[in-house]
Structure 1
Amino acid sequence: MRLIDLSSTVDARLWEPEPVTHTVMSAVEGAVHMTDGMRKNFGIDLSPDAFPGGEFLTNDMLYLSTHTGTHVDAPAHYGTRPDGEAARTIDEMPLDWFDRPAFVLDVRDVGRSTVDAEDLHKALDRIGYAPQPLDIALINTGASAWAGTKRYFTEFIGLDGSATRYLLDLGIRVIGTDAFSLDAPFGDIITRYRESLDRSVLWPAHFAGREQEYCQIERLANLDALPEPYGFSVTCFPVKIARAGAGWTRAVARVAE
């Protein structure tokens, strides 16, 4: 099997709406940190020079959102279920949702900021694929070309409520996108709401998850590297963070040679 990395990189040098802080402890600093700890906690007086080259181990401290980089949103991210019960968090999701056959739908030419159920139906017809329950659906919007810039967070294509429900009704439980959000851009949503006062335009893709449980993978990358629109599988296990609404993932496609 050939492995294709579908993940975007977490990089504190790139622009994010919630900035990432990345502090590196060098190997030299690690030696000082370790010997100070040994002295304070165990009474052992050891010089950093005791380690080869005066170096111990590096360490990295990061401050970032669970929605930075490629990540999986759990149902808890979308809010409380209609029955009043709390939705499942990322550590509670079944692992078999995240290692499945997958297919990719190209919506880059729709010419709008949102796609609907009819758009997805046509995209499936074009590739001649019949999704199976628990397949992973990937949406190629072309947005990953702008990753790391402000444009990435303001210009992309999202799913409307009908498109999201269309996939869920096919038995899909994991929907991925290369865009910042599965919904339309924030500015687009606000503009349409101001014009219509229609509450159904407010983050319909996310809120569909209150009615039918599913997970999103947001901020994928490299979807153009997939040689065919189906016939491959995706592994995207989320990091197990207790009580969290999302967890980072290293999404990888497996393609038969």
Structure 2
Amino acid sequence: MRIIDLSTTIDAGVWEPNPVVHEILTPAEGARHMAEGMSKNWGVAFDPAELPDGELLSLDTLTLTTHTGTHVDAPSHYGTRAAYGTPRDIGEMPLDWFVRPGMVLDLTDAPVGTVDAGRLRREFDRAGREPRPLDIVMLHTGASRLAGTPKYFTDFTGLDGSATNLLLDLGVRVIGTDAFSLDAPFAYMIEKFHETGDRGVLWPAHFAGREREYCQIERLANLEALPAPTGFTVSCLPVKIARAGAGWARAVALVGEAAEPDAA
């Protein structure tokens, strides 16, 4: 079995709309921190010089949103109310949604904006089948090549309402993309709204989650490394965070003997 990493790196050194702050306590600083805490809180004296090289443990503190890096959006991210009841938070979602047969669709030639259901059907034909219920469908838009730059947040392709609803009609409950969002870029949607007055062009993929329960994986990477449109398993288990609308995930594809067979 081969494991293909499909996750982007959380890196405070690259551009983000919500900057990441990464504070590092070195092993030497960690030793002093421990000694000071033991003395202050429990009255226990200890000299860090007794430790190998005067070092104990490093400690990383990060300030970031749950939408930084590869992450899974929960239904509660889409709004406080839904047609099916109270939207669930990320820690409440069923784990078996996130380890499933995968399908990747090639949208790398699509322009900035959205693709519709007809385009997805052409990709199903290329893959040799439609997605099956609970398959994890991922969109290879090529946007991940821009990760870490401002253009990553403005130049990509998303799904329109017809495309999103087609996948949900087929029983898909986790839809992924290597772009910043499953919807079109903000400026694109708002311009279309001003042109048409149609509210349906505003975040149709996200707002579909107010009608039917599903999750998105955003900011995937390395989808071009997948050897075929199907025949692999995706694992994208989200971090369990109480009352959160999203959770970070280390998304991978499992290819080989332990992966999902492509037979019906």
TM-score bin (small chain): over 0.9
Contact 1:137 1:175 in 2 (8 A): yes
* Percentage of matched positions with identical amino acids: 64
Deviates more, 1:240-249 or 1:36-45: 36-45
How many residue pairs get matched? 257
TM-score, normalised with respect to structure 1: 0.98
Quick one: which amino acid aligns to residue 206 of structure 1? H
Aligned counterparts of 2:172 and 2:10: Cα–Cα separation in 1: 27
2:108 maps to 1:77: no
- 1:208 is matched with 208
- 2:33 is matched with 33
Q: CA offsets, 1:33-74, max 9 Å, x none?
A: 000011111212211101111001000000000000000000
2:195 maps to 1:195: yes
Aligned counterparts of 2:127 and 2:84: Cα–Cα separation in 1: 40
- 1:47 is matched with 47
Deviation at 1:84?
A: 8.3
Deviation at 1:109?
A: 1.5
Quick one: which amino acid aligns to residue 41 of structure 2? N
- 1:68 is matched with 68
Quick one: which amino acid aligns to residue 6 of structure 1? L
Aligned counterparts of 1:78 and 1:126: Cα–Cα separation in 2: 31
Deviation at 1:110?
A: 2.8
- 1:223 is matched with 223
Distance 1:209 1:84, change over 3 A: closer
What runs of 5+ residues in structure 1 fail to find an aligned partner?
Answer: none
- 1:249 is matched with 249
SS at match of 1:30: helix
Deviation at 1:81?
A: 3.3
- 2:21 is matched with 21
Aligned counterparts of 2:12 and 2:146: Cα–Cα separation in 1: 16
Give the root-mean-square deviation of aligned CA atoms.
1.1
Quick one: which amino acid aligns to residue 179 of structure 2? A
Contact 1:142 1:178 in 2 (8 A): yes
TM-score, normalised with respect to structure 2: 0.95
Contact 1:99 1:234 in 2 (8 A): yes
Aligned counterparts of 1:209 and 1:38: Cα–Cα separation in 2: 49
- 1:161 is matched with 161
